[in-house]
Every structure is written in C-alpha cells, then in structure tokens.
Amino acid sequence: MIKSNDKPPIIVWLRQDLRLADQPALTAAVASGHPVLPVYVLDDGVHPLAPGGASRWWLHHSLAALTRDLQRRGGTLILRRGTSPGRMIEALAIEFNAAAVYWGRRYDAAEIEQDTALTQRLGAAGIASKSFNSSLLFEPWTIRTLSGRPYQVFTQYWRACRSTPEPNAPLPAPAKIPAPAHLPASDALDAWALLPTRPDWAQGFGPLWRPGETGAAARLQEFLEDRLCGYKTERDLPDRDGTSGLSPHLRFGEISPRQIWHAVRHHLATAKHPPDGDADRFLAEIGWREFSYSLLYYHPQIAREPLKPQFADFPWQVDAQALHAWQRGMTGYPIVDAGMRQLRATGWMHNRVRMITASFLIKHLLQPWQDGERWFWDTLVDADPASNAASWQWVAGSGADASPYFRVFNPVLQGKKFDPNGDYVRRWVPELARIERSNIHEPWTAEVLRSRDTSKSGADAYPSPMIDLMAGRRRALAAFASLNGRVS
DNA sequence: TGAAATGTTGGGGCG
DNA sequence: ACGCCCCAACATTTC
C-alpha cells in the first residue's frame, strides 16, 4: 500500500505570504492528500523589487519564524537562492517529480510575467500549477468602474470595494503538514547573510518588532483591544503608539488583510462600545494598500515613472548634498529630522511624519520623488512595492488621486499641530532634548541654542535650517505651476 | 490626509 | 454716547 508521503509532492512556493493561516495555496496542497514541500527562493537577480537592507533584516527573522512554525506541524521549509526563482522552482518540480506547484498571486508586471512563464513551462513538463489570492481583499481586476476601467480616486474605489461581497473568511492553519519522504537540500538561512554586520545598523530594530506570524497575530489583537478605540485621531500623533504597527507584517504576508478585515468585524460585533468611525478609518488604511496594488497592477511603471505624464520633465533641482542632509536627519527642521532618524533607528516611520518628510524633500528641496522612494525602499522594514511607490507619487502630486501640487506641508506648523509637546522630536533628536515646548519646532528662536550657536563647534550642534520655508514654498509653487497648461 | 492671503465680524479701548 | 480704529477670531479664497 502507498503511504501518502510516497505520493509525488505538491510544491507550495511562498513569496510574500510567509504564514500558515489563511494561506490558500498551502491549505489546498494539504487538502489534496499529497505531501507538501514549502519553498522560499531568495531572488538574487538585480531588479527594482529586490528587498532593501531593512527589509532583508525582517525577511531573515520572518523566514526563521516560518521555519519554526512549519516544523511544529511536521513541515520543512526549503530555502534556495538564485537569479531566476521561477527556473529554480521549475527545476525542483522536475527533480522531485512534483504533482503540482501552488502559489499566492503577485501583482507587479515583471512578477506576473515570471509566474505566467513558469505556468507554461510546468505545463509543458506535465506539471500542474495553480495560483491563489493570498495577499489582497480585492484583486485589481475585480474592482472596476461601470465602464470597466480601474478607479482613479480612492474614495470611489473604496466605496466600490465596500459594496461588493465581503472577502472570504480566513482559513485556519493546517493542523498537520505532511512532508515528503525525501527532501531537497536547503540552504542555511544564516548563510544568506541577510542581517547587517559591520556596522550592525539594525541593533535598534530587535526590541521593537516581532517578525513572524505569531508576532503579527499578537500585534493585531493588542491593537484591537488597546488602540482601535480612538484610532481616528491618535493615529496622527507620532509621539503616541496610536497606529496598528502591522505594516511590515502585512508586507511579508505574515498576516493577511482578510484576517485583519474579519478580526475587525468580529471585534465590532462583540465589543461593548463599538468604535465605529475608528474601525472604518482603520479599514480605509487597509483600503489604501489595496488601492496601491490596483495602481501597481494597472501601471507597472509606478515606481519609476510619474503616473501623470506631464510630470516627466519636472524641473527638479538635483542636489546630492540636500538629499544627504535629508537622509541623515540634518535638515534643521525638527519634525523632519526626527522622522528621518526614527526611520534609520527602527526601520519604520510614523505615517504622519512620512508625509511631512516626503513633502519636505519633494517640495521644499525640489528633489525627485524617486530618490526619496529609493531611500524609503532601503530603510523601511515595511517597504512595499505598491504602497511605497503609490504614496511617494501621491505626495509629489504625480499619482492617481494625488495631493494637489499646491499642498505644501509646513514642517513647523505640522510639528506644532501633531507633536504639540515636542516629545516626538526630543525622543529622536537628542540635541533638542532641552528645548522647551514653545520653541521645539523652531529651535533657532530658542535662547539656549542661539547663545551656543556663536561658539558652536561640538558634534552635538543642531544644524540651522537648510532652507527658508517661505522661499522654498514659493520656489515649489513656481516649479509646479510651470506644469500647468500642458497636455496630460 | 495644507498653508497663506484675503475677507468679515464683533468686542473693546479711546478720543 | 458715538464713531473710529485695532485686532482677535473665524470664514473664504487662492495657490
């Protein structure tokens, strides 16, 4: 008699859905009765979506967690690396006589092409393949206007999403994941050297994050219980712990938006005081992620080219020193510098401050948004191919439903409004630790600094503002106005 | 999911 | 008491 693990295995190719629960490819593979071979392939190819430094840190820990979680259920994660992941999967499938290959769908054009090509090659070799929706509430082709075109405005897009049937309930993790009798060789995770050394700039990351499915689920529960109530207003204050903190977990698929959606619904149904507007606002943030993926699907060039063609020859004032000052958090504007330093120290930046720092780079410094996008891509643990690109274009005004060009964030006013006590600034900019509340967002007016300024020599000297806000604003408005009247 | 400029209003000081 | 001015405070418009 043939034991189930003597049957040919089904390969489950995990990419950006590093979890076991609500993992339709895995569940289908287990349900088939075949042994299951979960594989992750590190893409060594040189391309724009290769994960940045901070993401590689997260990926290491996420894969370590996934390995443990699989082992607990009898499974084994196979790690491979190569410049052509599709070819790697194909070779594995043929070598191990796989019955099929399953995976969760991706939405970038190059990735779709890879997957389509793999399907064809597998088919030619007589191996079945099947793809599943593991990453989105609403896949891009399911949400269209009456005329069949994708939505260009978020509110309309999201309204359409919310009036379609609800996303499926999440699947439970398979209790047991049957392994094949013979396992392919696997790389050692440590040998991939995803973690930084010399210097280990990620030292500050560890205490803040718990990568992996268990950490993601814990973060969601804690958010629903402690922070959903009041989310609508608290989420804008960077000195508070008012956001969900789920972005990197979502980025690597340690939790699915379906799980989040249904957990929120369940929480609302059982909570004593359902925080209604708060939940809607939180789900709308998930909606922005969906909208970004729709934009990526319909505009594959979104990370490189402005969506609005008239932005193609925008008069940027490329300036390596200005970019560098912004990256290091040395612009002389406290809320900007606090944000940029929080980013480097933790791999994450509060969303309100992301908008402020991005607006400052694009509008006050007139640096190309692509430079900011690239920096965030390299330094954010949650750097997401869709959200990062769409959000930068949103700030630049070149994207869909974008911020109008004349919306220029004033970092002093934004600081006063959203960090009124200056606690956020003091936490990330130690040079300003002793500046009082009234001057914290314009420290050049503080007596302490001014008196020291004359004898400034120490490394603890906080820089004076690198540009004049009023002049910068005027320059930006003029530059953006120069686009008006052109055909779009 | 802006900010600044401009316009309007109303209370209070004061000649 | 009255008109005038100043200027918050708020509303509207413009970039």
A260 lies in a domain?
A: yes
Distance of alpha carbon A63 from the chain centroid: 17
Same structural domain, A252 and A385: no
Bridge partners (DSSP) listed for residue A131: A103
Residues A286 and A347 in one domain: no
Please tell me whether residues A45 and A80 are part of one structural domain: yes
A403 touches strand B (CB under 7 A): yes
Q: How many domains does chain A have?
A: 3
pLDDT in tens, A230-255: 999 899 999 999 999 999 999 999 99
- Are residues A324 and A460 located together in one domain of the fold? yes
Which nucleotide is the nearest neighbour of A285, by CA and C1'?
Answer: B1
Q: In terms of domains, do A343 and A457 share one?
A: yes
Q: Specify whether the CB–CB gap between A95 and A89 falls below 8 A.
A: no
Do A363 and A274 share a structural domain? no
What sign for the dihedral angle of Cα A260, A63, A85, A348? positive
Under 8 Å between Cβ of A462 and A430 = no
List the A140 CA – C14 C1' distance (angstroms). Answer: 37
Whether residue A117 is found in the same domain as residue A143: no
In whole angstroms, give the CA distance from residue A415 to residue A356: 9
CB atoms within 10 A of CB A124: 9
A311 C-beta less than 7 Å away from strand B:
no
Question: Do the bridges between strand A10-14 and strand A100-104 make them parallel or antiparallel, or are there none, so unpaired?
Answer: parallel
Q: How many CB atoms lie within 10 A of CB A345?
A: 18
Q: Which of residues 252-291 of A touch strand B (CB under 7 A)?
A: 285, 288
Task: Tell me the pLDDT of chain A (488 aa) as tens digits.
Answer: 455 567 999 999 999 999 999 999 999 999 999 999 999 999 998 888 899 999 999 999 999 999 999 999 999 999 999 999 999 999 999 999 999 999 999 999 999 999 999 999 999 999 999 999 999 999 999 999 999 999 999 999 999 999 999 999 999 999 999 999 999 999 999 999 999 998 999 999 999 999 999 999 999 999 999 999 999 989 999 999 999 999 999 999 999 999 999 999 999 998 777 677 899 999 999 999 999 999 999 999 999 999 999 899 899 999 999 999 999 999 999 999 999 999 999 999 999 999 999 999 999 999 999 999 999 999 999 999 999 999 999 999 999 888 888 899 999 999 999 999 999 999 999 999 999 998 999 999 876 655 554 444 444 699 999 999 999 999 999 998 888 654 33
**Chosen domain end from A135, A160, A184:** A135
Question: Tell me, what CATH number does A36's domain have?
Answer: 3.40.50.620
Query: A336 and A279 in one domain?
Result: no
A477 touches strand C (CB under 7 A): yes
User: CATH no. for residue A394?
Assistant: 1.10.579.10
HEC secondary structure over A386-444: HHHHHHHHHHHCCCCCCCCCCCCCCHHHHHHHHCCCCHHHHHHCHHHCCCCCCCCCCHH
Cβ of A481 near strand C (distance < 7 A): yes
pTM of this structure: 0.95
Asked if A141 and A248 sit in the same domain, the reply is yes
Contacts of A399 (CB under 8 A, 6+ apart): A295, A302, A306, A307, A308, A390, A392, A393
Bases of chain C below 7 A from a protein C-beta are 15
In this structure, which amino acid lies at residue A392? W
In a domain, A206, yes or no: no
The per-residue pLDDT for A185 is 97
Q: Judge whether A140 and A298 are in contact, CB under 8 Å.
A: yes
**Is residue A62 in some structural domain?**
yes
Residue A177 lies in a domain: no
Domain stops at, among A298, A325, A354? A298
Please report whether residue A190 resides in a domain: no
In a domain, A488, yes or no: no
pLDDT at A448: 62
In window 401-420 of A, residues with CB < 7 A from nucleic chain C are 404, 406
Q: How far apart are CA A361 and CA A327, in angstroms?
A: 10
- Let me know if residue A462 belongs to a domain: yes
Range of the domain at A164: 136-170+212-298
| Residues of A belonging to the active site | 285, 288, 316, 351, 369, 392
The whole-number pLDDT of residue A95 equals: 96
Nucleotides of B under 7 A from a protein CB: 1-4
CATH number, domain containing residue A242:
1.25.40.80
Closest CA to A211 of A50, A13, A19, A44: A19
pLDDT of residue A457: 45
Indicate whether A273 and A352 sit together in one domain: no
In whole angstroms, B2 C1' to A6 CA is: 65
Nearest nt (C1') from A408 Cα: B2
**How many angstroms separate the CA of A409 from the C1' of B12?**
36
At A11-46, the pLDDT tens digits run 999 999 999 999 999 999 999 999 999 999 999 988
Q: Pick from A395, A154, A114: which is nearest to A292 by CA?
A: A154
Final residue of a structural domain among A135, A159, A190: A135
Q: How far is the CA of A438 from the C1' of C6 (A)?
A: 27
- In angstroms, the CA A399 to CA A369 distance is 11
Residues A146, A126 within the same domain: no
Whether residues A457 and A322 share a domain: the answer is: yes
Q: Is the CB of A474 under 7 A from strand C?
A: no
Name residues 459-478 of chain A with a Cβ under 7 Å from nucleic strand B: 469-470, 473
CA separation for the pair A204, A173 (Å, rounded): 32
Query: Of all nucleotides in the shown strands, which has a C1' nearest the CA of A407?
Result: B2
φ/ψ of A371, rounded to 5, equals -70, -40
C4 C1' to A474 CA distance, Å: 37
* A395 CA: nearest nucleotide by C1': B1
A30 domain-assigned: yes
Cα distances (angstroms) measured from residue A306 to each of A313, A316, A370, A399, A464: 10, 13, 9, 7, 33
